[in-house]
Amino acid sequence: MLGLFSSFKRVSTWRLLWLYLAKGQKELGLNISQEQIDELESNLENIDFDYAQKEERLIRHDVMAHVHTYAKCCPKAAAIIHLGATSCYVTDNADLIIIKNGFDLLLNKLVSSIKSLSLFCDKYKDLPCLGYTHLQPAQLTTIGKRACLWLQDLCFDFENFENVKNNLKFRGVKGTTGTQASFLELFNNDHDKVKRLDEIVTQLAGFKSTFMVCGQTYTRKADIDILSVLSSFGATVHKICTDIRLLASFKELEEPFEKEQVGSSAMPYKRNPMRSERACALSRHLMMLVNDGLATYSVQWMERTLDDSAIRRIALSEGFLCADACINILQNVFEGLVVYPKVIESRINQELPFMATENILMEMVKIAGANRQDCHERIRVLSHEAGKNVKLMGMQNNLIDLIKSDDYFQPIHSNLENMLDARKFIGRADVQVEEFLNEMVKPILDKYKNNNLTQSQLLI
């Protein structure tokens, strides 16, 4: 990703676009020789950045500085470089090429993260754990089902990335204010040739379609869509990694912690979730970048103003670099998530007696013919006593012991242990995981079945 947003990639893509333009113009009859085309093609990566920097300091225009730099190493083709074009022909179109490549890279990496998390979901699909609403213990779910909530959002992000990439249009060959007037002049008022030139360059650049109309730039509304899906992905990362941080504080689950890793300079016992914390920090910045796109688009007066250029160079590059870093971290975390079943079981045991009270009530009515209201009141009193023991005395939840010691509940005493089997409280969670993995995740993995990126291939 760093390579995609490097100065070398940017300028070499400008040169590629100048080559495409010359090829199209030659094909349509302009006086451009094959020798000139060959010279342009052989110098695509022969970039003298020192010379370009001196030129830009002198003329204060980055594109023209690189026109001069390209011309310096292509003397035979110098006269036809940038013929009929405006600066945004290279800057905007190069951005779109780089953005498209950026989404390709993100999609491939995201599939790897989706695959890793899907394996985790399947492994723990039926391991009961406390569910939390309002960050308070709620009905049971499973570790795998909770992770499917994360996975579903990542699948939405995958679809968003694909949709924006597939709908990305090329600026193409439109001229200074988008009217194609300069190219109409070059081709002696031949509208068909001007349209064909636009098509040739678009196809050479690997795009299926162009913006039908534009000003000097392609509409910056497109940047909002690009930054929006990246920022939305940032929110997903923040939610997932926040959940992991909370679960780590409960000691139910941990991100990978290496043998020699130090959690704290002062507290040797600490096992801080530093990867998830780093992902939250980066994703917080990523979430904000869409605001740059919104603000920039809203002030593009008429055909354009130049106050978009500097901010776009920051927002778009940081958006992709930030998203890329977040995916790298997710991949590392997902491949090394550690689950602590005994801690999870202990936390369930603290809450499950309360959750089982409705089942106990129904069993008493069904087996012993008890009065539902009387039974409810007895359970209420015992539940409050057990709650007081937990909160005021620091005891374990002893509601079941209290019920066992009450002769009123004698008809169901032998059934109590069976009624407290945590797996009976997870509903369809395990089946939901299987259905979700088969119906939503498998098609994504099948589409990218030749993608075998692993954490070891990513720089963490």
- Judge whether 263 lies within some domain: no
State the CATH number of the domain containing residue 364.
Answer: 1.10.40
- Check: CB of residue 206 under 8 Å from CB of residue 166: no
pLDDT of 320 reads 97
Query: Which amino acid is it at 308?
Result: D
- Report the C-alpha gap between 185 and 94 in whole angstroms: 25
User: Phi-psi bin for 263: left (phi > 0), alpha (psi -120 to 50), beta?
Assistant: alpha
* Through-space distance between the first and last CA atoms of the chain, rounded to whole angstroms: 14
pLDDT at residue 456 in the model = 41
- 53 and 96 fall within a common domain: no
Which domain range does residue 19 map to? 7-83
Calpha distance 288→275 (Å, rounded):
20
The answer to whether residues 180 and 213 belong to one domain is: yes
Q: Are residues 415 and 444 in the same domain?
A: no
* Helical packing angle, 221-249 and 290-298, nearest 10°: 160
Q: Which two tokens stand for residue 96?
A: 């779109």
Question: Do residue 64 and residue 197 come from a single domain?
Answer: no
The CA dihedral of 17, 23, 29, 35, to the nearest 10 degrees, is 120
Quick one: 388 and 299 in the same domain?
no
Q: How far apart are CA 121 and CA 147, in angstroms?
A: 6
134, 249, 414, 456: the active-site residue: 134
> Strands, E, within 113-202: which ranges?
128-133, 136-142
Looking at the fold, whether 295 and 172 belong to one and the same domain comes out as yes
pTM: 0.87
Domain count, the chain: 3
Q: Hey, which residues does 132 pair with through a beta bridge?
A: 137
Q: Could you give the CA distance from residue 40 to residue 19 in angstroms, rounded to a whole number?
A: 6
What radius of gyration do the chain's Cα atoms show? 31
**Residue 308, pLDDT score:** 85
Q: Choose, from 7, 33, 209, 264, the residue flagged as catalytic.
A: 264
**What count of residues does the chain have?**
460
- Residue 272 has a pLDDT of 80
* Distance of alpha carbon 228 from alpha carbon 291, whole angstroms: 9
CATH number, domain containing residue 307:
1.20.200.10
β-bridge pairing 136-142 and 128-133: antiparallel
How, if at all, do strands 338-339 and 128-133 pair? unpaired
161 and 209 in a single domain? The answer is yes
CA 138, CA 123: separation in Å to the nearest integer?
23
Per residue of the chain (460 residues), give pLDDT as tens. Answer: 999 999 999 999 999 999 999 999 999 999 999 999 999 999 999 999 999 999 999 999 999 999 999 999 999 999 999 999 999 999 999 999 999 999 999 999 999 999 999 999 999 999 999 999 999 888 899 999 999 999 999 999 999 999 999 999 999 999 889 999 999 999 999 999 999 999 999 999 999 999 999 998 989 999 999 999 999 999 999 999 999 999 999 999 998 866 665 555 555 555 788 899 999 999 999 999 999 999 998 999 998 888 888 889 999 999 999 999 999 999 999 999 999 999 999 999 888 888 888 788 888 898 888 888 989 998 889 988 988 888 888 888 888 888 888 888 888 888 888 888 888 889 999 999 999 999 999 999 998 877 654 444 443 3
3-state DSSP call for residue 130?
strand
Q: Is residue 348 part of a domain?
A: no
At CA 202, angle to CA 201 and CA 206, rounded to 5? 115
Give the DSSP letter of residue 210: B
| CA proximity to 106, closest of 240, 233, 289, 241 | 233
Q: Are residues 188 and 277 in the same domain?
A: yes
Point out the domain boundary residue: 83, 107, 133.
Answer: 83
In a domain, 2, yes or no: no
Q: Is residue 191 annotated as part of the catalytic site, yes or no?
A: no
Are residues 248 and 333 in contact, defined by beta-carbon separation less than 8 angstroms?
Answer: no
User: Please, which residues have CB within 8 angstroms of residue 365's CB and are 6 or more apart in sequence?
Assistant: 371, 372, 375
Q: Does residue 352 lie in a domain region?
A: no
**Residue 41 placed within a domain:** yes
Residue 60 lies in a domain: yes
365 lies in the same domain as 245: no
With CA atoms as reference, report the closest residue to 113 among 280, 433, 327, 326.
327
Indicate if 72 and 140 belong to the same structural domain: no
CA distance 25 to 19: 10
Whether 190 and 227 share a structural domain: yes
In a domain, 63, yes or no: yes
134 included as an active-site residue: yes
With respect to residue 347, please indicate whether it lies within any of the assigned structural domains: no
Q: How far is CA 215 from the centre of its chain?
A: 31
Q: Find residue 91's DSSP bridge partners.
A: none
Q: Which pLDDT does position 193 carry in this prediction?
A: 95
**Residue 227 and residue 134 in one domain:** yes
